Amino acid sequence: MKKLAYSALSTGGKTLSDVNAPTRYSDTDSHEVLLLRRLHFDKASQTTQLTLLDGSRVDLPVQRHRLGKQAWRQLTAQLMQQQVPVSVHNAPASAPRSELQKLGLGHCFYLGNPEWEDDASALRLALVDEVGVLQGLYGATAHARYALEYRPDLGYRRQNIEERK
Q: Which of 39, 11, 69, 31 is nearest to 136 (CA)?
A: 39
Handedness of CA 20, 21, 27, 32 (dihedral sign): negative
How much is the pTM? 0.77
Pick 7 or 119 by higher pLDDT.
119
> With contact defined as beta carbons under 8 Å apart, do 60 and 103 qualify?
yes
What span, in angstroms and rounded, lies between the C-alpha atoms of 146 and 7? Answer: 45
- Rounded CA-CA distance 138/95 in Å is 10
Closest CA to 107 of 69, 56, 136: 69
Express each pLDDT in 79-115 by its tens digit. 999 999 988 888 898 888 989 999 999 999 998 887 7
